[in-house]
């Protein structure tokens, strides 16, 4: 089956098909064509993966457009998208229903992935691909005079996430479904996702992401699934049948309304689910407020409720202590836990001791950590369990993943805020903390009392704000560790940093709780269908498409790495993908770029620790060298097209200045007649999942140059690797494991190591900067790229040696980075060697499938087993 799907995918990507030949794509001819195609297709019937017989795709698409949208004939690509999507949706729901019927019967243990972010991107192509319907729908559209690629382009990204953490959650859902693991994602149905980034005179502008206006064919609203979520109010003790019970009476209540987003696995009948919650006012169900004539209050309530799921906080790494964010976190956790418990009770009644055999929850970073207190509240206050019994169940059910080493990124909520918004939860956290610190006191009994008190204070879930002694904070990471069975980092080096630094006190107490689960990405989206040409070549060469589900098989490509004829085919695919990216650059910036140039890419959130600034400095240096060269020397230089993309958090001033530096440097370089054939720099605005799908297959060199020890893992590095893109990078995050799998000599590794960082930071003041660095600082400060004043803080942040400046040690790595860039040039001149390495990257990417990661979670942490419905 997989092989058939792959062949279908090739057809979409450009190989001529019979249907394409008979279907000229001229708008005027469309109507007649489509009528003929529909008539022809009506004669045949198709069977879907869900099992139900259905009308042929062209008829179905036309029907959807006619009856759902009131359209007839001559559709735009956007229309064709909607018709196609609503048609595909039915097959998806058939498959979803079959899977869930099966799971209801089998009653397996479920994993619930709790995440404030799911960065899904587009669904149409992914869905037809995973359902094995790609050929059918591509042909249908062709017959109607459309092209799948253009039609699919009309879909808006579901951008309910900031970056790595949200996209990881999306890859995990794909793998869970593909591996037939009973599992759901739970999150928030934000009305506005990640902002759209535009450029105005080279500066970032944020615009709202209004993604739901034309309807969302990929969700099913469940009018029968809603839960009340409360905030504020008071807590009382009452005696009921001689037993003391706690009653929380919230002062504000909203409704969480479920929307299901079916997640199709690849090459399996399994379709699982992402359940997202929308916040609605209670008053819609309590018309009393209207009847009493309190119209304006009811409308204000509506606004207040809807605000909870209105917008994704666009912060990556630095938490903003906004009350609304805590409200969002509690909102989705509360609804999700009630939902799971109500399904559990429907089958098992109140046998909660077996809850850990039926359900487990993964906390995606600390964002859903209030689950620790909420599960306790539901079990103790609502279900009437003993505290100790509830605690045993809670800690067995929960697990926590840490995704960041930045100390400032660890969420801490002021006790005052928590007590006001979630008074009962604050009490519960206090009781947990009392029990925890008491236990610690016993456990550390051998220590001298002073030392013991210090250790306990350092591990207390509730502690003083070090910057403001008046304020007490709830440390969410500590709560997550104490309340979970397993704690993991996301790459080997990161998990070691978690154990040895961030949570070392806890590691010493519970060494066996701590694990590593190196991240992965789905090879379906990130290789098989974002790069169908390369996928086809791999399948032809290996003689099987099984690598899509078993990426270790990609290792078979190693045997061809030096094969000239294979290299030629490999290179032809890369060239075709580069041409596509060149067309996109032309569309955005109006420039033609040299497609023979080395395509050098850095795409990720703009952050000082990711060091886009260092990249720009090296580009300026390259420019200055080219300027100085004779025509003879220039002919020998390796031409480069550099691309940088990524969003800056709206309040992250320094990141915004970095974007402006990129655009300003680009403006100078791209117009200089001396160099413009040899060097370009483009900032591609509004970097998102879809853009990544175009950029990554075209990349020849990608940059992963964070200060060692700061990037927890990185996941785009894995996507680039799969697509045969060489990496220039520091010894950080998953780069290390990628280098090990690819061959360290095939990777351009540079810079200081994580263990040196602390010392180097202390000594940075006395560090003798490279003369080339000094020159570049003078250039920027002197106005070589205009905007002198605006760039001054940028120069100061790395060059003006106040304590703490150049925190990310750009200057320390600068010379080594330039040297690594020279190695890149030398290697690119030897195309046979470059291609050999490129092939070795893909061949070495087997480990970085999220299937591998999810299998490890399932075996080591979740103890969840596959359960596959019959086809």
Backbone region of residue 715 per phi and psi (left: phi > 0; alpha: psi in -120 to 50; beta: other values): alpha
Kindly state whether residue 741 participates in binding ligand 26W, applying the rule CB under 6 A: no
Which member of 41, 409, 585, 691 binds ligand 26W (CB under 6 A)?
409
Q: Closest CB to ligand 26W among 189 and 403?
A: 403
> 403, 424, 622, 704: which is the annotated catalytic residue?
403
Does residue 404 interact with ligand 26W by CB under 6 A?
yes
Q: How far is CA 301 from the centre of its chain?
A: 33
Minimum CB distance to ligand 26W, residue 520 (Å): 10
Task: With CA atoms as reference, report the closest residue to 363 among 499, 182, 485.
Answer: 485
Which of 721, 755, 719 lies closest to 738 in space, CA to CA? 721
> How would DSSP label each residue in 520-574?
-B-HIIIIIITSHHHHHHHHHHHT-SGGGT-GGGGGGGGGGTT-HHHHHHHHHHH
d(C-alpha 843, C-alpha 553), whole Å: 8
Task: Among 490, 528, 641, 861, indicate the residue that binds ligand 26W (CB under 6 A).
Answer: 490
HEC readout, 444-503: CCCCCHHHHHHHHHHHCCEEEECCEEEEEEEEHHHHHHHCCCEEEECCHHHHHHHHHHHC
Q: Is 58 in the site for ligand 26W (CB under 6 A)?
A: no
Residue span 697-716 as binding mask against ligand 26W, x where in contact by CB under 6 A, dash where not: --------------xxxxx-
- How far apart (Å, rounded) are the C-alpha atoms in residues 789 and 796? 11
Q: Are 343 and 182 in contact (CB under 8 A)?
A: no
Q: Which is nearer to ligand 26W, 409 or 432 (CB)?
A: 409
DSSP letters, 128-150, are HHHHT-HHHHHHHHHHTT--HHH
Using CB under 6 A as the binding rule, whether residue 267 contacts ligand 26W is answered as no
Span near ligand 26W by CB under 6 A; candidates 89-97, 289-297, 312-320, 496-504? 312-320
x/- binding map, residues 350-379, to ligand 26W, per CB under 6 A? ---------------x--------------
Residue 604 is among the residues annotated as catalytic for this protein: yes
- Give least dist CB 409 to ligand 26W, A: 4
- By the rule CB under 6 A, 733 interacts with ligand 26W: yes
* Beta strand ranges found along 604-672 (DSSP E): 640-645
Q: Least distance in Å: CB of 713 to ligand 26W?
A: 4
Q: How far is the CB of 318 from ligand 26W (least distance, A)?
A: 6
Marked catalytic residue, from 30, 98, 196, 605: 605
Minimum separation from the CB atom of position 823 to ligand 26W (A): 25
Half-sphere exposure of 753 (CA within 13 A, CB side): 3
Burial letters 524-552, b for 16+ CB under 10 A, else e = bbbbbbbbbbbbbbbbebbebbebbbebe
Q: Describe the crossing of helices 2-13 and 532-542 by its angle, rounded to 10 degrees.
A: 140
Is residue 605 annotated as part of the catalytic site, yes or no?
A: yes
CA nearest neighbour of 62 among 51, 52, 70: 70
CB of 642 to ligand 26W, least distance (A): 22
Residue span binding ligand 26W (CB under 6 A) among the ranges 310-318, 427-435, 647-655, 749-757: 310-318
The site that binds ligand 26W (CB under 6 A) totals a number of residues, namely 22
Q: Site for ligand 26W (CB under 6 A): which residue of 97, 315, 541, 562? A: 315
Q: Which of residues 156-175 bind ligand 26W (CB under 6 A)?
A: 162-165, 168
Nearer to ligand 26W, 419 or 490 (CB): 490
Q: Provide, rounded to whole angstroms, the least separation between the CB of residue 262 and ligand 26W.
A: 24
> Checking DSSP bridges between strand 203-207 and strand 243-249, what pairing results, if any?
unpaired
Residues 6+ apart with CB under 8 A from 553: 542, 544, 546, 547, 846
Nearest residue relative to ligand 26W (C-beta): 164
Distance CA 321, CA 288 (A): 35
Q: Of the two residues 142 and 713, which places its CB atom closer to ligand 26W in the complex?
A: 713
* C-alpha distances out from residue 605 to 357, 464, 612, 751, 767, Å: 39, 32, 9, 21, 29
Among residues 254 and 363, whose Cβ is nearest to ligand 26W?
363
Picking from 8, 16, 31, 21, the residue whose alpha carbon sits closest to that of residue 79 is: 31
Helices 810-829, 771-782: axis angle to 10 degrees equals 100
Least distance from C-beta 258 to ligand 26W, angstroms?
24
- Of 203, 199, 197, the residue nearest 787 (C-alpha): 203
Annotated catalytic residue: which of 455, 513, 719, 836? 719
Q: What φ, ψ does residue 601 adopt, rounded to 5°?
A: -125, 140
For ligand 26W, which residue of 34, 403, 524, 704 counts as binding (CB under 6 A)? 403
- 610 carries an active-site annotation: yes
Known catalytic residue at 715: yes
Q: Which of 125, 197, 317, 845 binds ligand 26W (CB under 6 A)?
A: 317
When the beta carbons of 491 and 701 are compared against ligand 26W, the nearer one is 491
Three-state SS at 711: coil
Do residues 643 and 602 lie in contact, with contact meaning Cβ atoms separated by under 8 Å?
yes
Q: Is 147 left (phi over 0), alpha (psi -120 to 50) or beta?
A: beta
Which CB, 95 or 401, lies closer to ligand 26W? Answer: 401
Is 490 or 614 the residue whose CB approaches ligand 26W more closely? 490
Stretch of residues binding ligand 26W (CB under 6 A), selected from 99-107, 120-128, 401-409, 569-577? 401-409
CB atoms within 10 A of CB 138: 28
Binding region for ligand 26W (CB under 6 A) out of 402-410, 542-550, 561-569, 769-777:
402-410
Toward ligand 26W, which CB reaches closer, 456 or 718?
718
- Taking the complex as a whole, the smallest distance from the CB of residue 589 to ligand 26W amounts, in Å, to 29
User: Binding residue for ligand 26W (CB under 6 A) from 134, 519, 567, 690?
Assistant: 519
Nearer to ligand 26W, 115 or 769 (CB): 115
Q: How far is the CB of 620 from ligand 26W (least distance, A)?
A: 27
CB of 155 to ligand 26W, least distance (A): 24
Residue 352 or 400: the one with the smaller Cβ distance to ligand 26W is: 400
- Footprint of ligand 26W on this chain (CB under 6 A)? 162-165, 168, 315-317, 319, 365, 403-404, 409, 411, 490, 519, 711-715, 733
Query: Among all residues, which ones are annotated catalytic?
Result: 403, 604-605, 610, 715, 719
């Amino acid at each position: 089956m997989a092989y058939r799907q792959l062949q279908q995918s090739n057809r979409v990507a450009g190989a001529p098909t019979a249907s394409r030949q008979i279907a000229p794509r001229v708008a005027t001819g469309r109507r007649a064509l489509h009528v003929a195609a529909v008539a022809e297709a009506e004669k045949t019937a198709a069977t879907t993966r869900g099992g139900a017989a259905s009308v042929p795709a062209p008829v179905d698409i036309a029907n959807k457009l006619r009856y759902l949208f009131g359209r007839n004939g001559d559709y735009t690509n956007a229309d064709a998208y909607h018709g196609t999507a609503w048609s595909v949706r039915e097959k998806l729901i058939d498959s979803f229903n079959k899977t869930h019927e099966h799971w209801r019967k089998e009653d397996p243990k479920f994993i619930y992935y709790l995440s404030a972010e799911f960065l899904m991107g587009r669904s149409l192509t992914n869905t037809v691909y995973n359902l094995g319907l790609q050929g059918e729908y591509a042909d249908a559209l062709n017959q109607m005079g459309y092209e799948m690629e253009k039609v699919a382009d009309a879909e808006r990204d579901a951008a309910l996430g900031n970056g790595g953490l949200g996209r990881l959650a999306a890859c995990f859902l794909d793998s869970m479904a593909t591996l037939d693991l009973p599992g759901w994602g739970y999150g928030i149905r934000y009305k506005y996702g990640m902002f759209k980034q535009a450029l105005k005179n080279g500066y970032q502008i944020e615009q709202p992401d209004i993604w739901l206006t034309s309807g969302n064919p990929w969700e099913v609203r469940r009018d029968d699934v809603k839960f009340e979520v409360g905030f504020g109010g008071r807590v009382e003790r009452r005696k009921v049948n001689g037993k003391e019970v706690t009653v929380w009476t919230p002062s504000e209540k909203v409704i969480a309304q479920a929307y299901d987003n079916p997640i199709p696995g690849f090459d399996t009948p399994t379709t699982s689910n992402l359940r997202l919650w929308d916040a609605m006012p209670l008053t819609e169900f309590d018309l009393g407020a209207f009847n009493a004539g309190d119209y304006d209050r009811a409308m204000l309530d509506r606004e207040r409720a809807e605000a909870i799921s209105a917008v994704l906080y666009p912060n990556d790494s630095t938490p903003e202590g906004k009350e609304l964010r805590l409200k969002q976190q509690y909102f989705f956790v509360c609804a999700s836990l009630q939902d799971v418990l109500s399904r559990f009770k429907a089958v098992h009644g109140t046998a909660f001791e077996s809850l850990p055999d039926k359900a487990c929850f993964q906390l995606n970073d600390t964002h859903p950590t209030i689950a620790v207190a909420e599960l306790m509240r539901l079990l103790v206050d609502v279900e009437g369990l003993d505290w100790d019994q509830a605690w045993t169940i809670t800690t067995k059910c929960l697990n926590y993943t840490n995704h960041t080493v930045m100390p400032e990124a660890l969420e801490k909520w002021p006790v005052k805020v928590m007590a006001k918004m979630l008074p009962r939860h604050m009490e519960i956290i206090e009781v947990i903390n009392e029990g925890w610190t008491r236990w610690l006191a016993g456990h550390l009994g051998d220590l001298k009392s002073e030392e013991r008190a210090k250790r306990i204070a350092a591990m207390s879930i509730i502690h003083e704000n070090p910057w403001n002694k008046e304020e007490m904070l709830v440390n969410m990471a500590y709560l997550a560790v104490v309340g979970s069975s397993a704690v993991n980092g996301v790459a080997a080096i990161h998990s070691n940093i978690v154990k040895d630094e961030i949570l070392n006190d806890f590691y010493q107490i519970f060494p066996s709780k701590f694990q590593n689960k190196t991240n992965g990405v789905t090879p379906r989206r990130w290789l098989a269908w974002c790069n169908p040409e390369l996928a086809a070549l791999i399948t032809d060469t290996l003689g099987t498409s099984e690598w899509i589900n078993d990426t270790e098989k990609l290792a078979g490509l190693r045997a061809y790495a030096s094969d000239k004829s294979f290299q030629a085919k490999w290179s032809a695919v890369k060239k075709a993908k580069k041409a596509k990216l060149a067309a996109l650059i032309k569309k955005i910036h109006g420039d033609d770029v040299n497609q023979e140039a080395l395509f050098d890419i850095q795409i990720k959130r703009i952050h000082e620790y990711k060091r886009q600034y260092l990249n720009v400095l090296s580009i300026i240096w390259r420019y200055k060298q080219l300027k100085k060269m004779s025509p003879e020397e220039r002919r020998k230089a390796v031409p480069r097209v550099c691309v940088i993309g990524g969003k800056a958090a709206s309040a992250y001033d320094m990141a915004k200045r970095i974007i402006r530096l990129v655009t300003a440097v680009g403006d100078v370089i791209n117009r200089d007649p001396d160099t413009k054939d040899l060097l370009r720099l483009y900032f591609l605005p509004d970097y998102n999942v879809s853009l990544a799908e175009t950029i990554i297959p075209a990349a020849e060199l990608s940059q992963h140059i964070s200060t060692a020890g700061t990037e927890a893992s990185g996941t785009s590095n894995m996507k680039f690797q799969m697509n045969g893109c060489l990496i220039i990078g520091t010894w950080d995050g998953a780069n290390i494991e990628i280098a090990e799998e690819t061959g360290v000599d095939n990777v351009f590794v540079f810079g200081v190591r994580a263990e040196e960082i602390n010392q180097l930071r202390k000594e940075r003041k006395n560090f003798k900067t490279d003369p080339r660095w000094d020159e570049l600082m003078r250039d920027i400060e002197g106005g070589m790229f205009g905007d002198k004043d605006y760039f001054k803080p940028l120069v100061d942040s790395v060059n003006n040696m106040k304590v703490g400046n150049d925190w990310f040690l750009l200057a320390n790595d600068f010379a080594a980075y330039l040297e690594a860039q020279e190695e890149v040039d030398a290697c690119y001149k030897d195309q046979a060697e470059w291609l050999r390495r490129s092939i070795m990257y893909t061949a070495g990417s087997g480990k970085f499938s999220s299937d591998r990661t999810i299998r490890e979670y399932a075996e080591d942490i979740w103890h969840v087993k596959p359960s596959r419905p019959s086809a």
